[in-house]
Amino acid sequence: MTALSVAAQPTCESLASLKLPHTSITSATTAPATAAIPAHCAVQAITHPASDSEIKFELWLPISGWNGKYQQIGNGGWAGSVPVGGLAEPVRRGFAAAGTDDGHTGGSGAEWAIGHPEKLIDFGSRAVHETRVQSLAIVQEYYGKDTAHNYFVGCSDGGREALMEAQRFADDFDGIIAGAPANYWTHLLTEGLWYEHALLDDPAGTIPQNKLAAIQKAAVDQCDMLDGVKDGLIEDPRVCHFDPGKIACKGADTAECLTAPQLTALRKIYAGPKNPRTGEQLFPGPSPGVEGVPGTWGSWIIPGPGPQGTSAGFGFANTFYLQALYENLKPDFRVLNFDSDVAYADEKAAAVLNSNSPDLRSFRARGGKLIQYHGWGDAAIAPQNSINYYEMVRAFMAKYPNGRTGSQGPVDDFYRLFMVPGMGHCNGGIGPNVFGNGGTVAGAKSDPERDIVTALDRWVEKNVAPDHFIGTGKVVGDPAKVLTRPLCAYPKVARYKGSGDINDAASFSCLAP
């Protein structure tokens, strides 16, 4: 069957009677075309791979113009709903597209995990894998042919899911995009707990939101020129050894300075969580340079005003420890510590939730391609975590090079990491933070330099690896102007050539740091 003769394929509604293992299709309806979304068959289903599993997923099948491929969308946070909003763009591009609720309803916390260990397994890995298995069976039934290629695209928890697929289900997807992965879940959630202690143990150390702009300005003033150009961005924050003591209050406490207890708290935040007994670094701290940008520190790290002020980081930390781990047996964060409680988190949940195994040999051996990206301005998941994981993989693959089909090539042949200056958690922030992944750049759908999904597809189909992307954004301090910048494959970074418009990507080269 070629370009999908509708007459030769089953009707959308007939899919409701399709029999699948431990799975019920609850709805199959034709959704007419709108200005934003092509006509498609929307299939809703529930699968029960374990006795306490109830995994909901939704699959959209283009009525016409199917490109022969499948794209699955990842979740965010604790999941708890099918990410249907993410299905529209893949369908516009011609993909059959699916997503899952990860096996539970409600994503504000982890109360669903109390007394339900199977649901934690569903969230950890089983829901994504089962959705892929059942969705491809429906795709085959509807179109009468198997998919040519299968892709997974996710950020945050979806990035954790993406790496989980590459590590544990190497045959599921030909190409994977892992954005800002929460892959070291048990220690990432320790990070939020660390911030909570740093800012709230001593009330005098709590940093108010109105001081974040001064912190950012001081960091940028110190480190902006390290990349050779003054543009309000820190290209590689690893070389920025910011000293917040430069804005210590020398007189009255104002929004432009930090008191001694606030400086202590800030230094703890930058340092990241450590085991007080062993000194082990449990998770990296955030990078300097975006502290006052909306959606970064003010949302994820610094509590809001008032005695009940909290942050998203606090919320995830508490729901993980107090609900998923201790199942409401411990009262609040103050009784949790960074030695025995972190060890318990690893013992109980690491094998279920973490996707930080460096062994990608099977994924590489079967020809899989993996693109990972992370914003240097991410306050939800410290960006250094992505570099740490990439380096772990590179070291492991060098030590144990044999996959299922024998010796393989270098890691860059199948896995590339891109760090994005100024970008927040998955998107937003400042600087060149737009590079497709949704067609948000004009012409992105056909430009692999500006769209990450197009680049992945080309890598899988033609073995042309992405060396860089062209990120687009607004000039810092002058939002009426457009900025473009190369986003280089790690470990390369963008360096100014010495002449040309500093807001034009053509004025920069990707060079080794």
Q: Under DSSP, is residue 505 helix (H, G, I), strand (E, B) or coil?
A: helix
Rounded to an integer, what distance in angstroms lies between the CA atom of residue 94 and that of residue 73?
15
- Examine the pLDDT at 7 and tell me if it is beyond 60: no
SS (H, E, C) 270-286: HHCCECCCCCCECCCCC
Q: What is the DSSP letter of 161?
A: H
How would you classify residue 504: left for phi > 0, otherwise alpha for psi between -120 and 50, otherwise beta?
Answer: beta
The pLDDT, as a whole number, for residue 307 is: 57
Which of 237, 363, 232 is CA-nearest to residue 293? 232
Going by C-beta distance under 8 Å and a sequence separation of 6 or more, which residues neighbour residue 463?
none
Report strand pairing: 468-475 vs 478-488. Answer: antiparallel
> Is the per-residue pLDDT at 3 higher than 90?
no
Based on its alpha-carbon atoms, the radius of gyration of the chain, rounded to whole angstroms, reads 23
Query: Residues 284, 357, 340, CA angle at the centre, nearest 5°?
Result: 55
Q: Is the pTM of this model over 0.75?
A: yes
Q: Report the alpha-carbon distance of residue 507 to residue 228 in Å, rounded.
A: 12
pLDDT over threshold 80, residue 278: yes
Question: Terminal CA-to-CA distance of the chain, rounded, Å?
Answer: 51
Catalytic residues: 156, 378, 425
DSSP reduced 3-state for 334? helix
* Tokens found for residue 327: 């199942």
Domain chopping of the chain, boundaries: 12-147, 158-183+355-467, 187-351
Model confidence at 2, in pLDDT bands (50, 70, 90)? very low
In terms of Cα–Cα distance, which of 74, 85, 89 is closest to 172? 74
With tokens 């009468």, the residue in question is: 144
What does DSSP say about strands 149-155 and 175-179: parallel, antiparallel, or unpaired?
A: parallel
Mean pLDDT of 257-280: 98
503 forms bridges with which residues in the sheet?
none
- What is the average per-residue pLDDT within 276-285? 97
Report the alpha-carbon distance of residue 456 to residue 512 in Å, rounded: 23
Tell me what pLDDT residue 193 has: 95
Q: Give the per-residue pLDDT at 439.
A: 39
Least confident of 62-71, 134-143, 196-205, 395-404: 395-404
Residue with tokens 């092509």: 38
Rounded percentage of the chain residues whose pLDDT exceeds 70? 94
What confidence score (pLDDT) does residue 409 get? 63
> Which residue(s) pair with 472 in the sheet?
434, 484
> Which percentage of the chain shows pLDDT scores above 90?
88
Q: Which residues of 111-144 are buried (b: 16+ CB within 10 A; e: fewer)?
A: bbbbebebbbbbbbbbbbbbbbbbbbebbeebbe
Residues 470, 491 contacting (CB under 8 angstroms)? no
- At 402-457, the pLDDT tens digits run 654 444 568 999 999 999 999 999 999 999 999 875 434 444 456 888 999 999 99
Query: Residue 289 and residue 414: Cα distance in Å, rounded?
Result: 31
131 close to 53: Cβ distance less than 8 angstroms: no
How far apart CA 228 and CA 205 sit, in angstroms, is: 35
Task: Report how far residue 419's alpha carbon sits from residue 377's, in angstroms, rounded to the nearest whole number.
Answer: 10
Cα angle 183, 184, 186 (rounded to 5 degrees) comes to 125
Are 102 and 122 in contact by the 8 Å Cβ rule? The answer is yes
pLDDT of 354 above 60: yes
Provide the pLDDT for residue 442.
41
Write out pLDDT tens, residues 88-107.
999 999 999 999 999 999 87
